[in-house]
Chain A
Amino acid sequence: AQTVTQSQPEMSVQEAETVTLSCTYDTSENNYYLFWYKQPPSRQMILVIRQEAYKQQNATENRFSVNFQKAAKSFSLKISDSQLGDTAMYFCAFFSSGSARQLTFGSGTQLTVLP
């Protein structure tokens, strides 16, 4: 079974600064996908960024980028130029279409952007 670990329950960052959220996972699969989802107070989960395990290049989406270290099973999210609207719970998630076809989530990191 896959497990996803987020070791930072809470983090804060000053507006306009950069912050990195950590995520590690454990799997015996070789082909899989990793995600970061954002959950603002409205409760709706929003996809932030996705990484395919077979791609060596780290995914980027505007101010969001990942550092994917496959051998280390690490998948961190970097948020640059943090904005107040980035305040949310961030979840790391794992998906493998070769096994159980469901997302496995970490426990989340509550990020607060301070003005």
Chain B
Amino acid sequence: GAGVSQSPSNKVTEKGKDVELRCDPISGHTALYWYRQSLGQGLEFLIYFQGNSAPDKSGLPSDRFSAERTGGSVSTLTIQRTQQEDSAVYLCASSLLLAGAANTGELFFGEGSRLTVL
């Protein structure tokens, strides 16, 4: 696609429910990132996928959070047993990393999924 696509755009759920957020990166981009943005805050790194390498999960806040990336393309972020503090905008970004080239860190972002946990 032309850009990074995220769905749903908005999600309202009840405390304790599981949610899945989807990210479809720019075609051909090998790197995919998930960030969380709480109200009025900066972006908090969650997880990073690069090609077939093991993902960098160092930013996941708890074991209720997990993510997978199937076929090196679409990614799903899953939050189990949601809590009110999980309410935030979840942003996905992708970047192109060419073989043998330095990653310059330029990310292309989607519009985010706003999660509200009641």
A joins B in a complex: yes
Say yes or no: A33 contacts B43, CB within 8 Å: no
For window 86-116 of chain B, which residues contact chain A by CB distance below 8 Å? Answer: 89, 91, 93, 102-112, 114
Per the bound structure, the CA–CA distance linking A33 and B45 in Å amounts to 17
List A22-38 residues whose CB lies under 8 Å from chain B.
Answer: 33, 35, 37
Contacts of A93 in B (CB 8 A): 105
Q: Is B107 within 8 A of A101, CB to CB?
A: no
For B50, list chain A residues within 8 Å (CB): 101
B111 touching A95, Cβ below 8 Å: no
Chain B residues lying within 8 Å of A72, measured Cβ to Cβ, are: none
The CA of A44 and the CA of B33, in the complex, are separated in Å by 14
Q: Please give the number of chain B residues whose Cβ is less than 8 angstroms from any Cβ of chain A in the complex.
A: 27
Cβ contact within 8 Å between A103 and B104? no
The answer to whether B107 and A103 have CB atoms under 8 Å apart is yes
Q: Is the Cβ of B104 less than 8 Å from the Cβ of A97?
A: yes
A77–B34 Cα gap in the complex (Å)?
26
Give per-residue flags for A70-104: 1 if the beta carbon is below 8 A from chain B beta carbons, else 0: 00000000000000000000010101110011111
Instruction: Kindly state whether residue B56 has any CB partner on chain A within 8 Å.
Output: yes
In the complex, whether A68 has a CB less than 8 A from a CB of chain B is: no
Provide the bound-state CA to CA distance between A108 and B44, in Å. 12
**What chain B residues lie within 8 Å of A37 (beta carbons)?**
109
Chain A minimum-CB-distance residue to B104: A33
Q: Could you tell me if B102 and A45 are in contact, using CB atoms closer than 8 angstroms? A: no
Residue in A closest to B9 when the chains form the complex, CB atoms: A43
A95 to B48, CA, bound (A): 14
**Cβ contact within 8 Å between B111 and A35:** no
Q: A43-B89, A97-B102 are in contact. Are A91 and B42 (CB under 8 A)?
A: yes
Is B52 an interface position by the 8 A CB rule?
no
Q: Mark B42-65, 1 if CB is under 8 A from A, else 0.
A: 110100101000001011000000
Residues of chain A within 8 A (CB-CB) of B112 are 43-44
Q: Contact residues of B with A, CB < 8 Å? A: 31, 33, 35, 41-43, 45, 48, 50, 56, 58-59, 89, 91, 93, 102-112, 114
